A = this chain, B = another copy of it.
Amino acid sequence: MHGFMGKLLAVNLTNGEISTLPLDEAYAQQFVGGASLACRYLFDRIHPDTDPLGPENPLMFMTGPLVGTAAPLCGRYVVCARSPQTGLWGESNSGGRFGPYLRFAGYDGVLFTGRAPHPVYLSIWNGEAALRDARGLWGKDSYETQKAIKDELNVGQLSVACIGPAGENLVKYAAVMNDHGRAAGRTGMGAVMGSKNLKAVAVGGDFQVPLADEARFKDVVQVVTEDIKEDIKGQFLSAGGTASSTDTTMWMGDVPSKYFTVGLWEPVANLGGGTMAETILVGKRACYRCIIGCGRGTTIGGKHATEKIDGPEYETTIAFGSLILSDDLPGAAYAGHLCNVYGLDTISTGATIAFAYYLYDQGIISKADTGGLELTWGDIEPALTLIEQIARREGFGAVLAEGSRYLGRKYGAEDLAVQVNGLEVPLHDPRAFVGMGLVYATSPRGACHNQADMFLVDLGAPVPELDIEIGDRLESSPEKALMTARVMDWRTLYNSLIMCIFCNPVAGFTLNLLNAATGWELEMSDLLPLGERAFNLKRLFNGKLGLTAKNDRLPKLLLQPLPDEDVDTRVPDMDVLLPAFYRVRGWDPQTGMPTPEKLQELGLQDLAL
């Protein structure tokens, strides 16, 4: 028993062959599910010469043993491949209903290989899979596509994951969109779909997710649900969405402004969840079996008036807000909506555009480069124009479509791009929570804020099984490195279940849920190694593709002190954090890779590079 449907769908897009791949029990026991399990499948299939946009780059949609069960906050799926944005491990997960519906369709995941001769989409309904002509869908936006497919198939409840024009046009940070405005946004999985002529995947059905002990599972779910309901963070998220804490964290310097050069810009408060609730909010949106519902439904008026739209998330409000010194919340919401429509990651889109504003301000680029656009701090209108240009690869947008690293490089300013290994840094400043510096520098997919939410840990979120003081949010210490590593391992485990990053139940409940679903009868002490093993697997994956210790670095702008006197911030001391992190991880400081002893300990010795 493993809590899985027990089979994956293998789709060869080149010749249209569809077959079933039995779930590898040994892999499941070692890596649980989600991105961790997908990484194990892809590890043998990706090589230094695998072209991220070539037919040979395998693309995997994966769920986990808790997805589609009654457990709260487990309605997620993940998309993985070699990232065209970073050239390294790519993963991005998304909520909504797609993950559960894929399992109700009869499969735990889908492995795509090859490249279809013309645009297609995959449908799986109650165990029946088929590739269908999508030539008529090519060019349609993500909302139109979802609707057109549901209309065409005309069966029961379906969920559709798809790309918009940005994915078709191979924008390096194109997202996979599902369930209206839900996004697997990061690392360009939408571009990989586009390169394969794969427009969408539509899933649904009536299969039941198997559980080792249904009665016991039901009991645990009941307790866990009550526990989460009482969690104050859940209540904040429900009331204010992901932007609920903006008003608090801005005073810590956590909210970047003016392209990461300002730590506190007070109008940021106008972008927070409170303002949103008072102005544009018209409803909440929840993923499958979510009891929080952090998703927002908004309606904006004025120049860019819309019907009810999805979002915006915190990251979106800042990327299209204070990062360009704009406090125009409806504008940021509309920017997020455009990203949803075209299928773009809001973080990378916003941060790349903000970088262009910065370069413009510095005189490094001018109207001659931007196609006549004046990128003036505070004016969101050119940003809206650029989103459309990026998605269509038109004008200056064609340059921005390659991301910040490329944009900087083109103008001799690569060092000024705030990115790590090609992925734009999200909107939590590591000078406010130094642990985030370590997270950004060493995460397997480049600058990632989901690998370990040290900004929450430093605010008091508990770290299971860790018996040290939280310490100061600004102190770069060996203890901080140890804590960061532990949080990464826990997050990696949650990402394999797949459980939402918000409001994870305490570890004991997680253990109970996992045991009741799988029948594995794990002990508490078994959990952390499940995360650590997968974290190291991803590290090996990147090592195979050429990553070394040299890649573990923060961008220059984040290593400069913030000028603000009113907020207490400090530059992370990477000379303290990194060596301590390598030590606690058991990584060789020269190669940056796990030592043979560490690999042995984790049972990964066969994958040594």
Contacts and interface: CB of A to CB of B under 8 A. Distances in A.
Interface in A391-420: 392-395, 398, 401-402, 405-406, 409
Nearest to A49: B87
A346 to B, nearest CB: 22
Nearest to A402: B56
A163 B52 CA distance: 22
A337 B546 CA distance: 40
Q: How often does this chain occur in the complex, in copies?
A: 2
B86 A49 contact: yes
Contacts of A406: 56
B422 A49 contact: yes
Contact of A84 (B14, B47, B48, B51): B51
A354 interface: no
A12 interface: yes
A114 B393 contact: yes
Contact of A394 (B14, B53, B54, B393): B14
27 contacts: A12-B398, A14-B401, A15-B394, A15-B398, A47-B409, A48-B87, A49-B86, A49-B87, A49-B422, A51-B52, A51-B84, A51-B87, A52-B54, A53-B54, A53-B195, A54-B170, A55-B170, A55-B393, A55-B398, A55-B401, A56-B406, A114-B393, A114-B398, A115-B169, A115-B393, A117-B169, A546-B546
Contacts of A115: 169-170, 393
Given A12-B398, A14-B398, A402-B56, A117 B51 contact: no
Nearest to A44: B409
Nearest to A422: B49
Interface string A76-89: 00000000101100
B14 A393 contact: yes
Given A49-B422, A51-B53, A115-B170, 4 more contacts: A15-B393, A54-B170, A55-B393, A56-B406
A473 interface: no
A172 interface: yes
A114 B399 CA distance: 9
Contacts of A169: 115, 117
Contacts of A87: 48-49, 51
Q: Which of the listed residues A51, A169, A195, A406 has the most CB atoms from chain B within 10 Å of its own CB? A: A51
A51 B188 CA distance: 13
A405 B51 CA distance: 14
A49 B405 contact: yes
Contacts of A14: 393-394, 398, 401
Interface string A95-131: 0000000000000000000110100000000000000
Interface string A266-287: 0000000000000000000000
B15 A395 contact: yes
Nearest to A83: B49
Interface string A407-441: 00100000000000010000000000000000000
Contacts of A172: 54
B546 A48 contact: yes
Interface string A1-42: 000000000001011000000000000000000000000000
Contacts of A52: 51, 54
A493 B406 CA distance: 32
Contacts of A12: 398
A395 B84 CA distance: 26
A15 B400 CA distance: 13
Nearest to A392: B117
A117 B87 CA distance: 23
Contacts of A48: 87, 546
A137 B263 CA distance: 55
Report, nearest first, the 5 A-B pairs whose CB atoms are least far apart.
Answer: A14-B398, A49-B87, A53-B53, A14-B393, A546-B546
Nearest to A421: B49
Contacts of A55: 170, 393, 398, 401-402
A608 to B, nearest CB: 16
A220 to B, nearest CB: 43
